């Protein structure tokens, strides 16, 4: 018994060791590469000296070693507690069998066997939700480590996810008692709890819909989810949320240089996302029709600003009024942000390419690229 407990304890420390190991790897190796990569991006985009200096200071400040102590410790502690509950949960539930527990049994009451079943169910869903949250966080951390973008906030996010997911899964478990076919629901609870760890926002939305007290009947602005932007997946959404970009409207108004500084996304990719978001913010659900007409971003409409026939063809293909497209094209022509993004895009497109399609690192002694012609 003692040998088994010792093995579980060592396994807990080993599995939770991802947090300190990844940050050590980043600070010792990847951080230096991140700064070098950022300097190359600044030179490629020919960003003004004052803006470039400010951006470099932001990068240095963001990745300072002292900023990682508390978030890494928090995520590591949550990992240890979660794996301890996962490996020792059966032993914990076995103590005081049938005793009511505020978390595991809620307000339910019954026989000793029923209460013990509820305790076991509660511990199961909590630990599996933690496991789902941990695996999601591990993938996110490793992706960010590989991209050289392992900021302190990712550890705070991981710790909060590992703390929030078990609580949400437990609430879903308590609500399952109201389901029509209780046996079927309980059989799916382990898988449901695991998925709650991956998608806690969806679980929270489910709880809000089930508890009518929190149903929001007020009129709200049109939802503009980032999931409608091509190329943005769940990990991208999580990263953008860390810099205050929660929906397409936020992305459409985001500062391109700030996103380049604060994230590891390719500059060309960021420009494309912003261009899509601007089109989506204006046309909303009609973006689907525009995409079917081969218009996926605002840049695809720029040629039509000087060609009424092309604009009419797009309107006919998308089934939209030509006047609406014409009005948007007028806005594009007078938007300085669009011109700036177009300028950055042209710089990136005119750079020589490597065999793998990526721009080569510029010569440190070379002059910055010339400004594009007006």
pLDDT level of residue 164 (50, 70, 90 thresholds): very high
- The per-residue DSSP string of 143-190 comes to HHHHHT---HHHHHHHHHHHHHHHHHHHHHHHHGGGSSSHHHHHHHHH
Strand, coil or helix: what is 45? helix
* Residue that the structure tokens 């009451």 belong to: 109
278 and 287 Cβ atoms separated by less than 8 Å: no
Which residues, 6+ apart, have CB-to-CB distance to 31 below 8 Å?
63, 148
Neighbours of 62 (CB within 10 A): 15
Structure tokens at 138: 């591990």
CB 176 within 8 A of CB 121: no
The pTM of this model reads 0.77
* pLDDT at 357 > cutoff 60: no
Note the helical H segments in the chain: 2-16, 18-25, 31-45, 49-62, 69-94, 112-147, 152-175, 182-198, 200-210, 234-242, 248-252, 256-262, 267-283, 287-292, 308-318, 322-334, 336-350
pLDDT confidence band for 374 (50 / 70 / 90): very low
Q: What is the pLDDT of residues 40-64, one digit of tens each?
A: 766 666 666 666 666 666 667 777 8
d(CA 301, CA 278): 12
| pLDDT of amino acid 350 | 67
pLDDT tens digits for range 286-345: 999 999 988 999 888 888 878 888 888 898 998 988 888 888 888 887 788 888 888 888
With beta carbons less than 8 A apart as the criterion, state whether 140 and 158 touch. Answer: yes
User: 208 is written with which tokens?
Assistant: 């809000």
What is the Cβ-side half-sphere exposure of residue 144, based on CA atoms within 13 angstroms?
29
Lookup: tokens for 197: 């760890």
Q: Give the Cβ contact number of residue 353 at 10 Å.
A: 10
């Amino acid at each position: 018994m003692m040998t088994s407990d010792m093995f579980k304890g060592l396994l807990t420390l080993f599995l939770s060791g991802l947090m300190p190991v990844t940050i050590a790897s980043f600070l010792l190796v990847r951080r230096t590469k991140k700064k070098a990569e950022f300097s190359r991006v600044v030179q490629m985009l020919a960003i003004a000296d004052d803006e470039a200096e400010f951006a470099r200071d932001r990068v240095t400040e963001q990745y300072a070693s002292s900023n990682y102590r508390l978030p890494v410790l928090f995520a590591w502690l949550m990992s240890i507690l979660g794996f301890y509950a996962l490996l020792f949960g059966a032993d914990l539930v076995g103590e005081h069998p049938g005793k009511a527990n505020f978390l595991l049994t809620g307000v339910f009451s019954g026989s000793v066997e029923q209460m013990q079943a509820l305790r076991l169910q509660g511990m199961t869903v909590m630990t599996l939700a933690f496991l789902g949250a941990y695996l999601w966080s591990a993938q996110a951390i490793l992706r960010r480590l590989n991209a050289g973008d392992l900021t302190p906030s990712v550890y705070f996010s991981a710790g909060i996810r590992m703390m929030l997911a078990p609580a949400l899964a437990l609430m879903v478990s308590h609500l399952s008692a109201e389901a029509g076919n209780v046996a079927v629901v309980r059989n799916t609870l382990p898988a449901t709890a695991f998925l709650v760890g991956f998608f806690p926002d969806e679980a929270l939305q489910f709880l809000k819909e089930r508890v009518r007290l929190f149903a929001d009947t007020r009129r709200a602005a049109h939802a503009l989810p980032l999931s409608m932007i091509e190329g943005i997946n769940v990990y991208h959404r999580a990263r953008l949320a860390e810099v205050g970009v929660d929906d397409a409207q936020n992305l459409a108004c985001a500062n391109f240089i700030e996103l380049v500084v604060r994230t590891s996304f390719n500059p060309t990719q960021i420009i494309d996302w912003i261009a899509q978001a601007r089109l989506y913010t204006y046309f909303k659900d009609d973006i689907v029709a525009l995409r079917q007409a081969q218009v996926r971003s605002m840049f695809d409409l720029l040629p039509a600003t000087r060609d009424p026939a092309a604009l009419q063809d797009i309107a006919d293909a998308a089934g939209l009024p030509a006047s609406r497209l014409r009005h948007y094209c007028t806005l594009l022509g007078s938007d300085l942000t669009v011109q700036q993004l177009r300028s950055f895009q042209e710089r990136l497109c005119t750079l020589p390419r490597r065999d793998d399609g990526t721009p080569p690192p510029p010569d440190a002694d070379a002059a910055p690229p010339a400004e594009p012609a007006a």
